[in-house]
Amino acid sequence: MSIQLPPKPWKDGDTFVNSQEGGTNVTYIYDGVKWLASGGEESDLSAFATNVYVDEVDRTAIMRDDALKKEHDEDSAKQSVINAGVVVSLDELFWRDVAIEQGAREDDEKLQAQIDALEEALPKAPLPQFRLYTGDFIDDWNPGDMAFCDASGDNTTTLSSVRSVLFHAEDINGKRWARDKNSTGYRRNYSSSLSVLLPDGEQTIFSMSPSHNILAEIYHITDFEAYRYDMYVISWTGLTSACLTSSMESVTAGDTYLLHVPEIFF
């Protein structure tokens, strides 16, 4: 018959009486290592102790395994949620990018359609037309005349040599484009651009825009010696401000060209 030991922990000097049914009523004392009968005879409790130890180890192992399994199951569940979240997030990002791209394309198409409709509805802004003149500015200068001059102030038809453009206040149709009618003559810096176009307005053949360190001026001439004038002169220095914008290297006297001078034609 096995002896029912008292519950752990045990310490040196602990005692118990074997008073269970069928017991011997012997008192046992724990010496810190093993249980001894009060009479001094050592009780053989090794088998019992071994069984208790094995049972305790088994119980501890089972509890540990259960805890590890629970932790593993929880981690697996968390990872499943994370993986599912990543898949959902990537899917959402993909379709969001698709929607953004589609929306941007639709917005661009709408904007372009609005621009096209506006350009179609608005009348084409005309430009004043002038006739290239190479004669005497005093004797024969008339409305609609325009002249190109080189750095020496002489007439030129070579576009690369042009350093100033002279034009009457009225174009060949007698229309005055500048908004300074009846103004006095003036001279000031010119900071805008100047372009010469073919008569159909589809091609620019010469363009000038002053560089930051280049002097460009505009003159409004209302009186010149004994003759009454209403004309403009735009002149500049240096080679870098002007350029040819087509394969045309020269112009022909008597031909007509369009002028775009946004600083005074607006």
CB neighbour class for 236 (10 Å; exposed up to 12, middle 13-18, buried from 19) = buried
Residue 57 inside a domain? The answer is: no
Q: What is the Rg, in whole angstroms, of the alpha carbon atoms belonging to the chain?
A: 54
Residue 47 inside a domain? The answer is: no
CA–CA separation, 266 vs 260, rounded Å?
9
Confidence of residue 40 (pLDDT cuts 50, 70, 90): very low
CA–CA separation, 120 vs 118, rounded Å?
5
Residue 220 inside a domain? The answer is: yes
- Given this model, what pLDDT does residue 140 score? 72
Residue 198 inside a domain? The answer is: yes
Q: Which residue has the higher pLDDT, 14 or 50?
A: 14
208 pLDDT more than 70: yes
> Which residue range(s) make up the domain with 144?
129-260
Q: Which two tokens stand for residue 114?
A: 């609005």
254 pLDDT more than 50: yes
CA–CA separation, 185 vs 180, rounded Å?
10
251 pLDDT more than 90: yes
Beta-bridge mates of residue 231: 168, 221
Residues 6+ away with beta carbon under 8 Å from 133: 140, 141, 145, 146, 147, 253
CA–CA separation, 143 vs 230, rounded Å?
9
Q: Which residue has the higher pLDDT, 61 or 206?
A: 206
Residue 20 inside a domain? The answer is: no
CB neighbour class for 140 (10 Å; exposed up to 12, middle 13-18, buried from 19) = exposed
Out of 17-21, 28-32, 85-89, 192-196, least confident range:
85-89
3-class secondary structure for 123-163? CCCCCCEEEECCCCCCCCCCCCEEEEECCCCCECCEHHHCC
Q: Which two tokens stand for residue 36?
A: 């001894």
Confidence of residue 183 (pLDDT cuts 50, 70, 90): confident
- Given this model, what pLDDT does residue 135 score? 76
Outline where DSSP puts E strands in 98-248: 129-132, 145-149, 164-168, 186-189, 194-197, 204-208, 216-224, 227-236, 242-244
Does this model's pTM top 0.75? no
CA–CA separation, 17 vs 39, rounded Å?
12
224 pLDDT more than 70: no
CA–CA separation, 137 vs 130, rounded Å?
15
Q: Decide if 45 contacts 34 (C-beta within 8 A).
A: yes
Residue 19 inside a domain? The answer is: no
Residue 168 inside a domain? The answer is: yes
pLDDT, average across residues 151-163: 92
Residue 13 C-alpha from the chain's centroid = 84
Residue 89 inside a domain? The answer is: no
163 pLDDT more than 90: yes
Percent of all residues in the chain with a pLDDT value above 70, rounded to a whole number: 70
pLDDT digits (tens, 9 = 90+) for 76-133: 666 655 555 555 566 777 777 777 777 777 777 776 776 666 656 545 668 999 999 8
Out of 43-57, 101-115, 140-154, least confident range:
43-57
- Domain count along the chain: 1
